[in-house]
Every structure is written in structure tokens, then in C-alpha cells.
Amino acid sequence: MSDRLLGAVCVVASAAMAWAAQDYAAAISYEPVGPRAFPMLLSVGLGLSGLWLVLHPTAGAESFRGVPWKATALCACAVLVYALLFQWLGFALATALMALPVGMAFGGSWKQALAGGAALGLVLFLLFDKVLDVVLPTGPLSAVLGGS
Amino acid sequence: MDTLQHLILGFGVALSPTNLLIAAMGCFIGTIVGLLPGLGPINGVAILMPLAFAMKLPPEASLILLAAVYIGCEYGGRISSILLNVPGDAGAIMTALDGYPMARKGLGGVALSISAWSSFVGSLVATIGIVLMAPLLASWALSFGPAEYFALMCFAFACIAGLMGDAPVKAGLAAIIGLSMSCVGLDSNSGVYRFTGGDIHLSDGIQFVVVVIGVFSISELLLMLQQHHSNAGMVTQTGRMLFNWLELKSTWWGTLRSSVVGFAVGVLPGAGATIASAMTYSMEKSLTDKEGTFGQGDIRGVAAPEAANNSAATGSFVPMLTLGVPGSGTTAVMVGALSLYNITPGPALFTQQPDLVWGLIASLFVANVILLVLNIPLVGVFTKVLSVPNWLLVPGIVAVSSVGVYAVHATTFDLVLMTGLGFAAYLLRKQGVPMAPLILGFVLGDMMEQNLRRALSISNGDASILVGSPITIGLWVAAALMLVVPIGMRLLAGRRRAEVTAV
């Protein structure tokens, strides 16, 4: 993705913003500036800076050179799956599951990542839920972890 | 002496056993976050902010915690700079220049202790600066109306765009993205839902915690994948642990000078620790380096930037506390933390909640003493942290961050939004779009719009009120200068370079 592409995305986003904001109006207006003005102002700003980047790009695709795409994609997916399963699987299980691919992407062996993740899940659960009083989901392990 | 009374009140708050314990914890955590390469103050403050809220800490306690973490990070960054030659955070880049050569010469212990000392002096000078300056600035700012506030916020954005980014357009873009994100949700003046897409989760706006964690935690670890650090170059033989009298004397004036300069830079919105340490390093080099030993392990080159980065970090509390307009990403996160408690920082806070403001200021003194005590004898404990492998550390960060986000509303929606924002922030950061203006925009967005609308309501829609007072005119001129001068200087420098290469 180069500056030019980023700029183009901004221009499209600014158009979408302006389109969405065009009919924001107060039912009964008692002030000269309603809910539409500020978003419109921002959309103009967004469009102009996008245009600037399209016309005067300073960086090409080289800013993405050297990115370990496989590891990055793996981590990103793992975090997304973690977010989706957090509530359903419970904190401890979900954390162990997330730590396996993320740990391996950061150079751990699968054994290290698995053991580390299980330990993290358990220790952090006990720390937050039991000691610091931050209620966390327990999921299927609720019988073991004494969930609410 | 009104100030003195307030300060005594503040110490009463800061020295209560709970707050003392919280400050000590914050210092410890902050030092660790600071020394870990890749994680800086903003990440530490961002990750801890929702946790402090979830643990139901009272506002002054959680502010003390965050402030201690912030200052602690500035102390911690130097440890990995000196021992590993890898700066632990951006403010400690300059410390590595002379710190690592010192460690290679077997003077690692001296470098660590003198930098802890100069960090302490820097913070102390800056905290005294806050005590002297903040009440004056706050009482002056009480007369600000909506038009002045609008101009002031534009000035803050101009500073951050002019001073921070090498690409001001990208900094501006980031600010606009942040401001736009703050528009999402119910418009309180008119009852109109904006940009929610009909989703009930967004009707209350995007949660601040979700943005901060996504931008500074999730995207950070994706960036960390690219920068593998090994402990191979770590210097373990640190030699003598404490600096001697001669070394103290040779660094004394440089430390003081750098502290004052650092504070001034820190008060200015947008600048901050990184710029302050770079500025003072070159200042000390030109002032005192007659023998050309800077860069080869000169102790003065370690003391000066460390004093400056700490005093700049402390100085950045001034605009946040007195004007309610944060000048750096980290203080912007703190303003967001206060908004979780429905507290709007600003000049009125000094009269309405003096225990909060002065408790924070007093706890800066307390935290610095704790940090000095922690950092000289316990430096060995902290260096052990550097050997925690990333395969354990990174999943831990993801887990703790998610706990923070989950704790606020307990919804899967927020967690998914956090990852989405994290991916978007990753792409933007790879493109060189800075994130501090984005977070500043997000924090200030609502205030900026409200002040603009209020100003125009007063004048019945006449936009000339925005330039209607000497203060607004002054702020607009200053904002324009902030934008034009750095860009102009860069253009000039670029042209000179082009001429040289052409010849």
C-alpha cells in the first residue's frame, strides 16, 4: 500500500462520510450550528489530505518491505479469533488457545507456547478475577474456576 | 501562600498508605514497561488505564497510578539503552549513544546510576515547574471562552503536526481520523445518531478504551513481529554500581540545563520527551564537548538526555492539567482515563477538585523518590525482565489488554472492534501516519465540536467570533507559525542538501 492508495482510500472515505452526514439535522433546532457541520468540515479535511497524498506521495510500497506477512497474518487472525471466543470459551481457555499461534509467531516452540499460554490463562485469571476483582468470563471451565 | 497550602493538601492525598502503595506499584510496572524494547509510556498507560477503572480505584488513585507508570517508563527506557544498545522507549534513544559505550568500557553501573540520578533531577525540576506555573496558567485560562478553547485546540493540533511528523499532512490526517471517530454516536445537543449504522453498540460512541488499546497495544505487537531483538549484545559486567563525586560534579550543570530545557519543551504541546532529549544532547555536545568524546561513552552525554526526557514527560502534565488540552499522546490517554470517571480536566479542576490535582502533583514528587530508590539498587532485578522471552510476553500483553477492554462493558463487540481498530492502526503506522495526533483528536473531538458550536451560538452564527479576541488571534498566529516554520526550515534544509548534491 503506497501513499497514493492511502490517499485514495481517504478520498473515498470522505465521500462516504459526507454522504452519511448530509441529512443529519436536529428535529427542533435552537442553535445556529447543528449536528451536520462538524462532520462535514472533517470530511472536507479528510478529502483534501487524501487528495494531497494522491498528488504528492512521499512513500511508495517500500514501507511494507520486510514485513513478515505470514507471521503477521497469523497473529492478526489469532487475536481476532481470541476476541470472538473470549466470552464464550472463557478467559483461561481462550488465552491458552491464542497464546499458541502468537507465541509461535514470536519464536517459541509449540510446547513452550502451549505451556506458556496455559500458565498465562490460569495465572492472569486468578490475578484479575480473584485478587483484583475484575470479573472475567469463565466459559466451560466455570465449575472448576468457580464462576459466577 | 495558597500554593503551599494546596501542596500540603496534595501530600496528604499522595502519602495515604493506599496511594503510596499504588504509586510504588506504578513505578515498578512503569520501569518494566519502559525498559522493554517496543513498549513505551503510551502503551503502558493505555493498557493499565482500563484495569485501574475496572479495579474501581478512585479517580485520584488511578491518576496517580498512570502518572507513576508514565514517569517510571522514562526511567526504565534507559536501562535497555545502556545495557543492550536498544532504546526501551523513544525518549531513551539518545541515552544509548553514550550509555552503551560506557557499559562496554565496564562502566555500566555508573551509567545506570548517573542516569537514574539525572532522571530524578529532571523530574524534580519539572515538578517544581508545574507547582510554580500550573496555578498561574489555570487562573488565566479560567477566562477562556469557547472561541478561545477552539483556537487553543487548533493550536495543539498545529504543534503536533509541525513538530512531530516528518510528514505534517499525515499528522493532520491522523488528527482528522481521530476527530471523525469522536463524532460517532449520539449528538447530545440535537439527539441525532451519527455514523452508528444503526448499531446499538455504537449509539454511545466508540469507547475510548477500545480505541486506545487497539491503537497502542494490538497494532504495537503486530509491529513488534518485525523487530526481533536478541539479548546477545547485552552487557552483563556492569562494574562499579555508583557514580563518584567527580562524575557527579562533571554532569551537574548539564543535568540542570537539560532539565530546564526539557521542561520548556515538554510544556509545549506536541513536542515531548523524544525531541527534548535529542535537543539537549546536541546542546550539551556543542557546549561542553571540547575533547570530542561524546558518542564514545561520555558520562555527560548520558546525564543530559535522561534529565531532559524525564523533565519533558513531567512538563507535559502542564497543558493537560491547566487547560484540559493534552499536549502528548500519553497525557491524552490520561484525559481519556479521567473521562471514564466523568471528570473533565481543565482550569476549573484546580478550584473544584484540588485534592485530585494537587494529589497528582504531590505524587509526582513521591513517585520520583520511589523511582530513584528502586532504580539504583534494584537495577539487577529489572534487567532480568529483559530475559523474559517474547513468546510469553506478547500473549500476556494481548490477554491483559483484552481484560481491560472487556472490563468496561463486557461485550464481544468491543473486543472485535479493538482488533479491527488495531489492524487499521497497524496499516496506518506502516504508512508513516503517527498515532499520537489520532488519539489527541479522538480525545478532543467532542470538546472541540462543542466549543465551536457554543462559540457560534453566542455570536448567532457569525464566524468572526473565532478571531474576536486578542487571545484567539494570538493562538491562531502561533498555530500558523508552528505549522509554517518547521516546514519552511525543512524545505530550506532540503534545498541546501539538494544544492550540495548538485555540486
What is the distance between the alpha carbons of residues B470 and B290, in angstroms, rounded to a whole number? 46
Whether B419 sits inside 8 A of A80 (CB atoms) is yes
CA distance B213 to B225: 18
Identify whether the C-beta of residue B63 lies closer than 8 Å to the C-beta of residue B361: no
Task: Decide if B399 contacts A98 (C-beta within 8 A).
Answer: yes
Given A45, A64, A83, the domain boundary residue is A64
Q: Rounded distance, CA A87 to CA B28, Å?
A: 31
Instruction: Identify the bridge partners of residue B194 per DSSP, sorted by sequence position.
Output: B185
Spatial distance between the Cα atoms of B137 and B322, rounded to a whole number of angstroms: 6
Query: HEC profile for chain A?
Result: CCHHHHHHHHHHHHHHHHHHHCCCCCCCCCCCCCCCHHHHHHHHHHHHHHHHHHHCCCCCHHHHCCCCHHHHHHHHHHHHHHHHHHHHHCHHHHHHHHHHHHHHHCCCCHHHHHHHHHHHHHHHHHHHHHHCCCCCCCHHHHHHHCCC
Grid cell of B363 as nine digits: 505524587
B196 to chain A, closest Cα gap in Å: 10
Residue B39 cell numbers, joined: 513498549
Mark yes or no for CB contact A50/B427 under 8 Å.
Answer: no
- What is the rounded average pLDDT of the residues B267-280? 81
Computed over every residue of chain B, the mean pLDDT equals: 86
B413 touches A at CB < 8 Å: no
**Does the residue A13 lie in any domain?**
yes
* pLDDT tens sequence across B320-337: 889 888 878 888 889 888
Same domain for A78 and A29: no
CB contact residues (below 8 A), chain A span 75-104, against chain B: 75-76, 79-80, 82-84, 86-88, 91, 95, 98-99, 102-104
State how far the Cα of B442 lies from the Cα of B468, in Å rounded to an integer. Answer: 27
Q: Are residues A59 and A73 in the same domain?
A: no
The pLDDT score that the predictor gives to residue A27 is 72
How close is the nearest chain A Cα to the Cα of B351, in Å? 30
Of A6-10, B167-171, B231-235, the range with the highest mean pLDDT is A6-10
| pTM of structure | 0.86
Answer whether residue A146 is part of any domain: no
Cα–Cα distance measured from residue A12 to residue B287, given in angstroms and rounded to the nearest whole number? 52
**Cell numbers at residue B167, please?**
510528514
d(CA B314, CA A72): 35
End residue of a domain, out of A12, A47, A64: A64
> Which residues are paired to B185 by β-bridges?
B194
What would the grid cell of residue B70 be? 508514565
Tally of domains within chain B: 1
The answer to whether residue A24 is domain-embedded is yes
Total of domains in chain A: 2
Contact B425, B46 (CB under 8 A): no
CA B216, B221, B226, B229 dihedral sign is: positive
Q: Residue B186 carries which DSSP code?
A: E
Q: By residue range, what is the domain housing residue A47?
A: 3-64
| Cα–Cα distance measured from residue B205 to residue B247, given in angstroms and rounded to the nearest whole number | 54
Cα angle value A50/A55/A56 (rounded, 5°) = 95
Domain range spanning residue B108? 2-502
Q: Are residues A20 and A50 in the same domain?
A: yes
Q: What percent of chain B lies above the pLDDT cut of 90? A: 26
CA angle B426, B432, B436 (to 5 degrees): 75
Look at residues B68, B482, B98, B102 and name the one whose alpha carbon lies nearest to residue B310. Answer: B68
> Is A135 found in the same domain as A100?
yes
Asked if B415's CB is within 8 angstroms of A38's CB, the reply is no
For residue A38, being part of any structural domain is answered with yes
- The predicted pLDDT at position B166 comes to 66
Indicate whether A114 belongs to any domain: yes
Helix, coil or strand: residue B317 = helix
- Asked if A127 has any chain B CB less than 8 Å from its own CB, the reply is no
pLDDT given for residue B187 in this prediction: 84
Name B448's Cβ contacts closer than 8 Å, sequence gap at least 6.
B150, B153, B179
Within a domain: A148 = no
Closest CA to B293 of B39, B55, B101, B490: B101
Span A24-47, mean pLDDT?
84
Listed range (B257-271, B323-337, B429-443, B487-501) with the worst mean pLDDT: B487-501
Question: Which span out of A30-34, B337-341, B402-406 was modeled with the highest average pLDDT?
Answer: B402-406
d(CA A61, CA A3): 8
Domain membership of residue A121 (yes or no) is yes
Cell numbers at B411, concatenated: 461485550
| pLDDT at residue B497, rounded to an integer | 56
pLDDT in tens, B119-168: 999 999 999 999 999 888 888 888 888 999 999 989 888 888 877 666 78
Examine residue A58 and state whether it is found in any structural domain, yes or no.
Answer: yes
Q: Which of A36, A64, A92 is the last residue before a domain boundary? A: A64
Contact A87 B225 (CB under 8 A): no
Nearest-angstrom CA–CA distance, A38 and A19: 14
Are A98 and B187 inside 8 Å of each other by CB? Answer: no
Total beta-carbon pairs less than 8 A apart between chain A and chain B:
199
Closest CA in chain B for residue A98: B395
Residues A37 and A50 in one domain: yes
In sequence order, the 6+-apart residues with CB closer than 8 A to the CB of B52 are B61, B62, B65, B66, B337
- Reported as a pLDDT band with limits 50, 70 and 90, residue B503 is very low
Set of cell numbers at residue B116:
537514574
